[in-house]
Structure 1
Amino acid sequence: MPTLSAFTVTVAGSALAGLIATSAPLVAHHAFGAEFDANRPVTLKGVITRMEWVNPHSWIHIDVKNPDGTVQSWMIECGPPGALVRRGWSKASVPSGLEILVEGYQAKDGSLRANGKDVVLPDGRRLFAGSSGTGAPYDDVAGKK
């Protein structure tokens, strides 16, 4: 009966380990439609409490004040850090304490999470949030084009 050489076992084991290591990020990533609802656009005005520059999606955490004075803490999913930087974002452009306007789409489960499309800064600059979005290049969010 033929036996497997140490080389064959090493190559097969390395290939399997590589496959497992590279498949984890694919499982963690999701399509827009899996979590967010294109029929539930949101426009949120709030104060940044934290910005997470992480892959595969950056996150902006904002506190939104309701008309009754209560505050809701929202999480806004954005594109990866490298893509945001290429679109004009920097850590200095979105510091904690800055009031911003976010246009995007609410999570399907109704939680206080949204997929960000655009972020409008106090000086009027509009930054593309660059998350996965609906896939349409000129989405009409909350009646704005």
Structure 2
Amino acid sequence: MRQRFGKFFAVIIMALATAAMTTPLLAHHGWSWAEHGNSEVTGVVTKAELGNPHGIVTLDVKGEVWQVEVGQPWRNERAGLTDAMMSPGVTLTAKGHRSAKPDQKLLKAERIVIDGKTFDLYPDRD
């Protein structure tokens, strides 16, 4: 009986630990961390880390460092956006939803504008 209780307790602890570890991941990859209203930032790319689960482009926005979350590689490709277009030195405008934390300079992009051309990462989301 005591051994059975020990196994049951261990399973409960593992389930709770797994839930605790995955909750931040689910919150990050959804939209819950972002404001509902639209925002935009324009700056010069200083760094681009593109790939899965999504790309991060670092911008110099009038001396402030901003992180812009762009789409997964397939989403960028579908929008017509290539990695070379987001290379250091390129000026771009990111339109989307900024972090709900006012001091965090992070924006989840729905659209990227480069040289007047708009790349819609989420065409069915307005």
Q: Shared fold (TM-score greater than 0.5)?
A: yes
Superposed CA deviations along residues 25-71 of structure 1, whole A, max 9, x for unmatched, are 896343102x10113x2221100111111211111111101xxxxx1
Match of 1:36 among 34, 48, 57: 34
1:112 counterpart residue number? 105
Q: Which has the higher helix share?
A: 2
Counterpart residue identity of residue 137, structure 1: D
Counterpart residue identity of residue 81, structure 2: W
What SS does the corresponding residue of 1:120 show, helix, strand or coil?
strand
2:44 equivalent to 1:51 = no
Q: Percent identity?
A: 22
What SS does the corresponding residue of 2:76 show, helix, strand or coil?
helix
2:114 counterpart residue number? 121
Superposed CA deviations along residues 12-32 of structure 1, whole A, max 9, x for unmatched, are xxxxxxxx9xxx889634310
What SS does the corresponding residue of 1:117 show, helix, strand or coil?
strand
1:90 counterpart residue number? 82
- CA 1:27/1:64 → structure 2, altered by over 3 Å: closer, same or farther? closer
Between structure 1 and structure 2, the one with the greater Rg is 1
Superposition RMSD on alpha carbons, in Å? 2.3
Note the residue ranges of structure 2 that are not aligned, 5 or more in a row. Answer: 1-17
Q: Name the TM-score, length of structure 1 as normaliser.
A: 0.63
Q: Return the offset for 1:93.
A: 1.5
Note the residue ranges of structure 1 that are not aligned, 5 or more in a row. Answer: 1-19, 66-70, 131-135, 140-145
Number of residues paired by the alignment? Answer: 104
1:79 counterpart residue number? 71
